[in-house]
């Protein structure tokens, strides 16, 4: 049954205080909840509480046990038909964290207790109105075995602690800030702890601690450094200070997502905490920095001000992604960050928007809430905030944010509440703009130029159109802010921002006598999340790349050229890559060597999946071949440069910061090109690089290059890597991934049969299945259906234990409709088999929508 935004009604009670008592045991945990409740709505309203997988042991109101007939327990909750206007409800339930394989609620990972409550995990801990608009003060007392659980953590501030007899001890935590249940957290176990302090802008000293596996403490140093920089950045950029005396992070091995912003107790997938030179790549360091920031920033955008209901998820997620992207841009290079954000957006969000799973940033209905944590809600949600800021300017944006914090602190609000703040400070009306939240699909902007040489006039016509998406056949225009420029040999003739409000607009520029035809640069810095349609000649496109002064658009110009080339090669309208084009790519790379991080991005060729959006039906096998052909040509052109750069030593001593990471990014880009060069000695060269690499970034690049080749060097490196890292699960995930990314179905089956493949560990499953199905498209979409079958088999098993994981993996099928007929019919058959079988509710929702 679908949930609808229009069905929203406030909860008819207020929960003034929550007292929780946990008696922790892996098989038999007892949770006693005392809820102080006051009626705020309808006099006759029954008390309805959510609850799932709970065994109710006792229930009482104001200390008097309820008669059996006074309440009703179902699979999804508990109802008490008649309650007083003010009372304390006491329930006692039994749960079994050790058998909780869904990793939602209270569960065990690596022998320790941990929790994940967003969105609806708290109802798997106790009976409660598990919805974000019910905010309350939580007090937690937990008791656990002293030896296995010396550390006991929850939200807020630590209180009393001490011996509890019988080899057990207790601790009390008190959270002074009212919060919804999805921000509750509890961790208990034995950890190594990396500690530090942060002094806030008003002089308060905060105790910071990161809890990790035994022996891993030093690997938390970078996460801690990232945390302190995040705290400082939020003070400087948004005027936001931390509001508790302690801030704890716990790293867990088995986690369904990246991390979770629980109040004062962030819980992280260990992949986004642990890093050092030997075991982590620069991409890992970067991801840690951005996710630590993301979760920390949620303290204000998410926790202090939260969502009224889950339809408003983008209120906290889009905004917080926007904030973390800007943090990363400030820590590193703004243009490089922008390019990376757009690569991610195009790969995941544009694909989602173009397929059967398309939905608006704020949907008005959903089947399974877990399936709403999408690239659209997060990444497109962030792009919308970026457009808002461009349209009103940085200063007004900050005023609007200040007003938002002032008006809504402590509340659970909506997108409308958020925009009301910006309307107030800017005097503008955002009714039209908010269509961005309601309409799914990526708008396409067509650009037409008309140069009148005799009158030195250029006319630029911009048209927008958003394609139909499931349930939304007709679209309306949305305001699209586009940074634009006219370019000639001298540089910028003009630079401006146009907001395309209507379906079409024509701009006319009178240029001085004797001006040559200028080139038009559109959507500079990717001001709007749209696709551009322009019929430019290859010559014009080459010229545009040469003259471009905006780093994003220069990079994007190269991407567009490469895209068209790959399509031409795949379609057979061209046998070999065009020499001028290969020259232009090589020249752009050589010209950018002063900024190696940027140069590295110029070497990147568009992924096969991006090409699906360009021409349909899509033939991934042909596209993959074509892409390799172009890569080989570029590698050939740059051969001397590649050999010379790789002949230089890697920067020492290691530093994870942007500068060295940029140097290494270019080195690894060149390692990738070397692997694709077709040189006969490529494998021996790569093996040498693999053996000599002083850090994981370059070691893994060499290993990935080798994994895509055949022969002794490959086997040797893979065996060596496995032997060296078999006891480090995060590094072993990489070992699985480098193989999955070039594997055929048979190899995937072998990887899944490896003794270290673990269906219960989401990171491990993703390192094989998600990597294969989402980054190795020519094999996943193999015309014989072998890729689908191997994924289907693993996903069925994973889904049984962990629905959230199963459903996430199945989204790989979202592009099936645009494939060439053979793969398409195999994909459909696979989806039909899945539909007819016993899947979790989450997975069934994905399959049903994919089939449409
Ligand atoms: N709020 C978390 C974050 O973005 C993610 C929680 C994911 N939960 C889920 N049910 N998918 O930081
Ligand atoms: Zn988030």
Q: Which of 643, 839, 135, 311 is nearest to 831 (CA)?
A: 839
Q: What is the pLDDT of residue 244?
A: 98
CB 665 within 8 A of CB 597: yes
Which ligand 1 atom sits closest to the C-alpha of 291? 12
Q: What is the pLDDT of residue 490?
A: 87
Q: What is the pLDDT of residue 201?
A: 98
Query: What's the CA gap between 521 and 656, in Å, rounded?
Result: 35
Mean of all residue pLDDT scores within the chain: 98
Residues in CB range of 280: below 8 A, 6 or more apart: 219, 274, 288, 696, 730
Q: Distance, CA 451 to ligand 2 centroid (Å)?
A: 47
Q: Distance, CA 118 to ligand 2 centroid (Å)?
A: 10
**Each residue of 762-786: pLDDT tens digit?**
999 999 999 999 999 999 999 999 9
Identify the band that residue 247 occupies on the pLDDT scale cut at 50, 70 and 90.
Answer: very high
Closest-CA residue, ligand 1 atom 12, reads 260
Q: What angle do CA 739, 373, 253 make, to 5 degrees?
A: 50
Q: Which of 272, 391, 399 is nearest to 324 (CA)?
A: 272
Q: In this structure, what DSSP letter does residue 128 have?
A: B
pLDDT (average), residues 188-212? 98
CB 556 within 8 A of CB 586: no
Q: Is 751 in the pocket of ligand 1 (CB under 6 A)?
A: no
Share of the chain above pLDDT 70, in %: 100
* pLDDT value at 199 more than 80: yes
Identify the band that residue 491 occupies on the pLDDT scale cut at 50, 70 and 90.
Answer: confident
* pLDDT value at 397 more than 80: yes
**Each residue of 92-102: pLDDT tens digit?**
999 999 999 99
Given the structure tokens 């059996």, which residue do they identify? 68
Query: What's the CA gap between 251 and 187, in Å, rounded?
Result: 10
Cα torsion 416, 421, 424, 428 to 10°: value is -60
* pLDDT value at 477 more than 80: yes
**Each residue of 8-65: pLDDT tens digit?**
999 999 999 999 999 999 999 999 999 999 999 999 999 999 999 999 999 999 999 9
How far apart, in Å, are the Cα atoms of 506 and each of 496, 530, 726?
A: 14, 18, 62
Identify the band that residue 387 occupies on the pLDDT scale cut at 50, 70 and 90.
Answer: very high
Q: Phi and psi for 83 in degrees, rounded to 5?
A: -130, 155
Q: What is the pLDDT of residue 242?
A: 98
Query: What's the CA gap between 804 and 374, in Å, rounded?
Result: 12
Q: Computed from CA positions of residues 262, 266, 267, 271, in that sequence, does the dihedral angle turn out positive or negative? A: positive
DSSP3 helix / strand / coil % (the chain, rounded to 5): 45, 25, 30
Q: Could you write out the DSSP letters of every residue in 457-492?
A: EEEEEEEEE---BTTB-------EEEEEEEEETTEE
Q: What is the pLDDT of residue 446?
A: 98
Q: Is 370 in the pocket of ligand 1 (CB under 6 A)?
A: yes
Which ligand 1 atom sits closest to the C-alpha of 120? 10
**Each residue of 82-95: pLDDT tens digit?**
999 999 999 999 99
**Each residue of 322-333: pLDDT tens digit?**
999 999 999 999
Query: What's the CA gap between 717 and 711, in Å, rounded?
Result: 10
Q: Which of 113, 170, 116, 108 is nearest to 142 (CA)?
A: 170
Residue from 182, 260, 299 to probe ligand 1 pocket by mutation (most atoms less than 8 Å from CB): 260
Q: Distance, CA 170 to ligand 2 centroid (Å)?
A: 31
**Each residue of 252-273: pLDDT tens digit?**
999 999 999 999 999 999 999 9
Query: What's the CA gap between 835 and 844, in Å, rounded?
Result: 7
Q: Is 259 in the pocket of ligand 1 (CB under 6 A)?
A: yes
Which ligand 1 atom sits closest to the C-alpha of 298? 12
Q: What is the pLDDT of residue 565?
A: 98
Which ligand 1 atom sits closest to the C-alpha of 372? 11
Query: What's the CA gap between 170 and 143, in Å, rounded?
Result: 4
ipTM: 0.98
Q: What is the pLDDT of residue 1?
A: 76
In the set 118, 286, 289, 295, the catalytic residue is 295
Closest-CA residue, ligand 1 atom 9, reads 370
Q: Distance, CA 217 to ligand 1 centroid (Å)?
A: 25
Q: Distance, CA 461 to ligand 2 centroid (Å)?
A: 38
Q: Is 317 in the pocket of ligand 1 (CB under 6 A)?
A: yes
How far apart, in Å, are the Cα atoms of 818 and each of 30, 360, 617, 822?
A: 51, 21, 5, 11
Which ligand 1 atom sits closest to the C-alpha of 294? 12
**Each residue of 453-468: pLDDT tens digit?**
999 999 999 999 999 9
Q: Is 295 in the pocket of ligand 1 (CB under 6 A)?
A: yes
Active site residue 295: yes
Q: Computed from CA positions of residues 496, 499, 500, 505, in that sequence, does the dihedral angle turn out positive or negative? A: negative
Q: What is the pLDDT of residue 530?
A: 98
Residue from 257, 261, 301, 845 to probe ligand 1 pocket by mutation (most atoms less than 8 Å from CB): 257
Q: What is the pLDDT of residue 271?
A: 98
Identify the band that residue 663 occupies on the pLDDT scale cut at 50, 70 and 90.
Answer: very high
pLDDT (average), residues 484-490? 94
pLDDT (average), residues 827-837? 97
Q: Is 122 in the pocket of ligand 1 (CB under 6 A)?
A: no
């Amino acid at each position: 049954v679908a949930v609808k935004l229009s069905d929203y009604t406030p909860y008819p009670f207020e929960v003034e205080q929550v007292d929780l008592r946990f008696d922790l045991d892996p098989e038999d945990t007892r949770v006693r909840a005392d809820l102080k409740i006051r009626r705020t709505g309808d006099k006759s309203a029954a008390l309805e509480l959510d609850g799932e997988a709970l065994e109710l042991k006792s229930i009482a109101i104001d200390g008097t046990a309820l008669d059996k007939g006074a309440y009703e327990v179902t699979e999804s909750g508990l109802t008490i038909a008649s309650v007083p206007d003010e009372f304390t409800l006491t329930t006692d339930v039994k749960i079994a964290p050790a058998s909780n394989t869904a990793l939602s609620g209270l569960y065990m990972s690596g022998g320790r207790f941990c929790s994940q409550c967003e969105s609806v995990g708290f109802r798997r801990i106790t009976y409660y109105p598990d919805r974000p608009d019910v905010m309350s003060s939580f007090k937690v007392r937990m008791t656990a075995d002293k030896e296995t659980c010396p550390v006991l953590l929850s939200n807020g501030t630590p209180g009393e602690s001490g011996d509890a007899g019988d080899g057990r001890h207790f601790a009390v935590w008190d959270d002074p800030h009212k919060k919804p249940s999805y921000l509750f957290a509890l961790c208990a176990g034995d950890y190594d702890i990396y500690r530090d302090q942060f002094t806030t802008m008003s002089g308060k000293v905060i105790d910071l601690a990161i809890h990790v596996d035994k022996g891993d403490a030093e690997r938390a140093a970078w996460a801690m450094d990232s945390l302190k920089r995040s705290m400082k950045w939020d003070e400087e950029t948004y005027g936001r200070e931390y509001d508790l005396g302690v801030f704890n992070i716990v790293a867990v091995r088995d986690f369904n997502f990246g991390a979770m912003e629980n109040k004062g107790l962030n819980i992280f997938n260990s992949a986004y905490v642990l890093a050092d030179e030997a075991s982590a790549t620069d991409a890992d360091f970067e991801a840690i920095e951005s996710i630590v920031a993301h979760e920390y920033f949620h303290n204000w955008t998410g926790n202090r001000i939260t969502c009224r209901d889950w339809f408003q998820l983008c209120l906290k997620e889009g905004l917080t992604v926007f904030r973390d992207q800007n943090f990363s841009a400030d820590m590193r290079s703004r243009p490089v960050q922008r390019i990376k954000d757009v690569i991610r957006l195009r790969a995941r969000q544009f694909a989602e928007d173009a397929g059967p799973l398309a939905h608006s940033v704020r949907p008005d209905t959903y089947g399974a809430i877990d399936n709403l944590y999408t690239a659209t809600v997060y990444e497109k949600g962030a792009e919308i905030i970026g457009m808002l800021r461009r349209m009103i300017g940085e200063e007004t944006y900050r005023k609007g944010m200040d007003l938002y914090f002032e008006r809504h602190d402590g509340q659970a609000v909506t997108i409308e509440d958020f925009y009301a703040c910006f309307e107030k400070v800017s005097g503008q009306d955002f009714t039209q703009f908010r269509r961005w939240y309601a309409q799914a699909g990526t708008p396409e902007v067509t650009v037409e130029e008309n140069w009148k040489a005799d009158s030195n006039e250029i006319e630029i016509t911009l048209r927008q159109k958003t394609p139909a998406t499931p349930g939304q056949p007709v679209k309306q225009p949305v305001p699209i802010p586009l940074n634009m420029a006219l370019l000639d040999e001298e540089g910028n003739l003009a630079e401006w921002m146009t907001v395309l409000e209507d379906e079409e607009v024509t701009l006319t520029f009178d240029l001085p006598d004797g001006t040559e035809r200028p080139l038009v640069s559109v959507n500079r810095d990717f001001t709007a999340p749209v696709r551009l349609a322009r019929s430019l000649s290859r010559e014009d496109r080459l010229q545009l790349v040469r003259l471009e002064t905006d780093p994003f658009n220069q990079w994007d110009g190269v991407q567009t050229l490469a895209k068209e080339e790959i399509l031409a090669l795949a379609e057979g309208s061209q046998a070999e890559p065009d020499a001028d084009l290969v020259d232009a790519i090589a020249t752009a790379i050589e010209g950018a060597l002063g900024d190696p991080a940027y140069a590295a991005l110029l070497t990147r060729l568009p992924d096969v999946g991006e090409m699906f959006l360009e021409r349909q039906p899509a033939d991934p096998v042909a596209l993959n071949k074509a892409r390799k052909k172009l890569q080989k040509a570029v590698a050939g052109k740059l051969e001397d440069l590649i050999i010379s750069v790789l002949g230089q030593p890697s920067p020492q001593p290691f530093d994870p910061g942007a500068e060295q990471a940029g140097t290494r990014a270019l080195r690894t880009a060149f390692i990738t090109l070397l692997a694709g060069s077709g040189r006969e000695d490529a494998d021996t060269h790569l093996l040498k690089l693999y053996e000599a690499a002083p850090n994981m970034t370059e070691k893994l690049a060499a290993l990935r290059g080798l994994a895509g080749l055949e022969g002794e060097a490959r086997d040797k490196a893979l065996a060596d890597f496995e032997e060296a890292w078999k006891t480090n699960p995060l590094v072993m995930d990489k070992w699985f991934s480098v193989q999955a990314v070039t594997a055929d179905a048979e190899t995937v089956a072998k990887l899944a049969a490896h003794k270290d493949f673990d269906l219960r560990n989401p990171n491990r499953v993703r390192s094989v299945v998600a990597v294969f199905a989402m980054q190795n498209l020519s094999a996943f979409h193999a015309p014989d259906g072998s890729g689908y079958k191997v994924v289907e088999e693993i996903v069925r098993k994973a889904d049984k234990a962990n629905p959230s994981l199963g459903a996430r993996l199945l989204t790989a099928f979202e592009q099936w409709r645009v494939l060439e007929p053979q793969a398409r019919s195999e994909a459909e058959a696979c989806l039909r088999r899945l539909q007819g079988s016993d899947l979790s509710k989450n997975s069934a929702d994905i399959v049903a929508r994919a089939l449409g």
